[in-house]
Chain A
Amino acid sequence: MHRCNGIMSTVTSLPLSLFCAASFLLPAPAMAQSTTDGVIHLNQAWSQDDREWYYHFSQGSVVIS
């Protein structure tokens, strides 16, 4: 009976142990990056420089002069 309880305890605690171990191995959830303009940027691993360049770098298209 004690042996059976020991097996059951191992069986039930194994998933919890694996979950705890995995929580250290898995990447953390995306952290938000706050800015001063009231906009929250999800963390896409873009620097502010990347972001500003992407927003406004000219690709040659023109609409109005």
Chain B
Amino acid sequence: MQYGLLPEAANQFNPDALPIGISKTAVATPVKGWPAGDYAGLTCAACHEGEWDYKGKHVRIDGGAGNRLDILAYIHALDDALQETLSDSAKFDRLAARLGAASSDAEDKLRKRFERDADRVHHYRTRTAVSATPWGPGRLDAIALILNRLLADLPDIPQNWSTPNAPPKPPFLWNAPHGLWTQWRVAQQDPIYRNLGETMGVYYMPIDLTSKSPTEGLFQSNALFSISNGLKTSWIVWRHQVGRKMCLARSTARRPRLVKPYLFPFAPVATTRGLTRGANLTSMASASSW
């Protein structure tokens, strides 16, 4: 909470009483480097929910510009905590005891899981989100973070990395539930592209873009979307338009490498809640004009 996440009581969608903008995702089928299991991750609301204190009252603005979360400080603190827990055996033992990992076998499994998460967060801090200046609360360079994930980290082309040093405030999206197409701008004109960009780019999503072929797991992902509910047209248009442009994206290296032309034909291997509210999912997840 000290980094600006807003507390929230347990409810039907949040049985674990996680803060606003943190959700639980069940990865049912392992993806390369991502074992099956329950994960906690970020949602739109982490950065697109405003709260002001006025005369002793907490005034919350649903879908408002996030004015509290210091995402960069949060990432740094999370990385520090994970690394310290790994290096300090007493801390790790306390964690294992709290999680009920009593036997040595259970503790070993916990450590491996913990090391994997810690490596991922440390990589994010030291590669993806390296900025010369702190962003502070209510500011983030989401575009650079997303592009670093999509074009440098996931396809393993570090030459494509750019410095996330232009942190604007997150925009409001309180009108998102009322629109079918809430975000439009030159860089992102397709809801699927935008949605996947957020989930893959804003933080982490289990996805395999480094195996050599689909039979070895290439493109496996827990991305949640359906091409049978009216999104098929958008998907096809996107593949022809955006996909071709991405093929031509050049790195900053002396010998430019081409981004893989077949970057995003996902094969969803797990879903979290289905698309019973697909319209809302599309509009809401499309809404934040990063």
Contacts and interface: CB of A to CB of B under 8 A. Distances in A.
Interface hub of A58, A60, A62, A63 (most chain B Cβ within 10 A): A60
Contact of B8 (A50, A55, A65): A55
B200 to A, nearest CB: 8
Interface of B: 8-9, 11-14, 18, 20-25, 27, 34-35, 37-45, 49, 51, 57-64, 78, 82, 113, 116-117, 120-121, 174, 177, 195, 198-200, 202-206, 222-224, 272-273, 277, 280-281, 284-285
B175 to A, nearest CB: 9
Given A59-B43, A63-B39, 14 more contacts: A46-B62, A46-B174, A52-B11, A52-B13, A55-B43, A56-B23, A57-B43, A58-B272, A59-B285, A62-B204, A62-B206, A63-B78, A64-B40, A65-B37
Contacts of A37: 9
B14 A46 contact: no
A46 B21 CA distance: 17
Contacts of A65: 35, 37-40, 113, 116-117
B17 to A, nearest CB: 10
Interface of A: 32, 37-42, 44, 46, 50-65
Contacts, number: 140
List of 9 A-B pairs having minimum Cβ-Cβ separation, nearest first: A62-B39, A61-B41, A62-B41, A58-B272, A58-B23, A56-B14, A58-B25, A56-B13, A60-B199
A61 B60 contact: no
Given A40-B58, A55-B8, A65-B37, A60 B25 contact: yes
B273 A42 contact: no
Contacts of A64: 39-41, 78, 82, 117, 121
B45 A60 contact: no
B273 A61 contact: no
A42 B60 CA distance: 6
